[in-house]
Amino acid sequence: MRIFVWNILGPLLSTVICAQRNQRPVFTCGGNFTGDMGFIGSPGYPAVYPANTKCVWRVTVPQGKVVSLTFRVLDLESDSLCRYDFVDIYDGHINGQRLGRFCGTSRPGALVTNSNKMQVVMVSDANTAGSGFLAVYSAVRPNERGDRYCGGILDSPVGTLKTPNWPEKDYPAGVTCSWHIVAPQNQTIELWFDKFDVERDNYCRYDHVAVYNGGEKSEGRKIGKFCGDSPPGRVYSDGNHLLIQFLSDLSLTADGFIGHYRFRSKSITTIYNTSPYPTVTAPTTTRATALTYSEALCKQKCKRTGTLETHYCSSSFVITGTLISAVMRGESVLATFSIISVYKEGGLAIQQAGKSMSTRVVILCKKCPLVRRGLNYIVMGQTDEEGQGIISPYNFMMAFKVKKHRDLSVLKNMRC
């Protein structure tokens, strides 16, 4: 009798167990994951993901391992800067470095942390499009080879490094790539760039490439920090380790770069490296003292005095530009100008992507001078220690008309 019952129920139970094992997993908004491997998916995947949602997943793998995340599916609302719906991947759980921001349908290579923790954040706005994402994480050995999105260990005698998307299109926003080049003990490393186009800024505060002696990020061992559209000079390491880190923020992007390296014997490197390492330093500029906001300053009558000629030499910078945004900051205004022409740069921080240049200036008194978005202006002012433009009622600013370009071009060649 028992044998008869088991002959009937056995296959039935096996079918139920197999069915349970083959059930599609249910993906929820966020959670904590541990172990050597697992899946993370947008809420309700493969159904359309919900609107106005923020989900946070935290992954922890065993100590001594790092986290590798690979997208099996990526289908989010597409935007060149991923401003609306996106997935952010971070190295670590709290205050970690963003490894990348992704949207659209183009899947990156594996995202790999430097620790045993990773955070995945998905954000959607009011309008959604697509089925979301499905990704698998796994615990791997540090420096394990694989199809990485960018960065990794490079230990071949010669090699190449390049920004994501090179050369088909601009590098993406919100990305960090770290290449660690390791040579044999008795050799050093030579690094150079064939093509280089990274968002321009006088102080390389936004998108940039930083190069360090050794295998770790350390200000004391920084060789240089590079940006703009001119390739930096050749770089030579002190020892057998060199770290190159590329970082892009969430605004302007550019073509990117392709670089090469090779190992050299220390005796050859000594011949080549008779001058200091090429480094990027802020330009030396004589600046007038930048003013700060005060109630007394902004109480005076707003009336432009003098002429272009009388103000040109006393101004740190002189530009013409279109006002594209003006944001209130207390009693002051943070204004962003799309630059038409630069006549006197004077340490002003200028951002550049392709042929488009922009800069931010603080108008200390919101009513003096009054500005309107979409209009063109001649802007003369001072710069602070960070290269930010400062406009006070004392500075000269007026509407720009094309005929003034000739006058400004003459002043540009004038000795102050």
What's the CA gap between 70 and 38, in Å, rounded?
Answer: 11
Residues 259 and 380 reside in one and the same domain = no
Whether the CB-CB separation of 148 and 178 falls below 8 Å is answered with no
**Domain CATH number, residue 191:** 2.60.120.290
Alpha carbon dihedral 214, 215, 220, 225, in 10-degree steps, equals 100
Residue 284 lies in a domain: no
pLDDT value of residue 22: 52
Strands 317-329 and 351-353: unpaired
CB 237 within 8 A of CB 213: yes
119-128 tens-digit pLDDT: 999 999 998 7
Is there a contact between 413 and 318 (Cβ–Cβ < 8 Å)? no
> Based on the domain organization, do 407 and 325 belong to the same domain?
yes
- Residue 391's Cβ-count burial label (10 Å; 0-12, 13-18, 19+) is buried
Query: For residue 414, what pLDDT band results from cuts at 50, 70 and 90?
Result: confident
Per-residue pLDDT band at 6 (split at 50, 70, 90): very low
Q: Is residue 288 part of a domain?
A: no
CA dist 169 and 82 (Å) reads 15
CATH number at residue 305: 2.40.50.120
pLDDT at 306: 80
Q: Which residue has the higher pLDDT, 387 or 179?
A: 179
Check whether residue 307 and residue 242 sit in a common domain. Answer: no
Task: Give one DSSP letter per residue of 314-348, joined into a string.
Answer: T-SEEEEEEEEEEEEETTEEEEEEEEEEEEE-TT-
Q: State the chain's mean pLDDT as an integer.
A: 84
Opening angle at CA 349, ends 411 and 246, nearest 5? 140
Overall domain count for the chain: 2
Whole-prediction pTM: 0.60
Please tell me whether residues 262 and 301 are part of one structural domain.
no
Is residue 5 domain-resident? no
CA separation for the pair 170, 252 (Å, rounded): 10
Does residue 12 lie in a domain region? no
* Domain co-membership, 217 together with 97: yes
Mean pLDDT of 133-153: 90
- 267 and 332 both lie in a single domain: no
- Average confidence (pLDDT) over 392-411: 88
- Domain closes at, from 241, 257, 272: 272
Domain end marker among 257, 272, 287:
272
* Enclosing domain of residue 88: 31-272
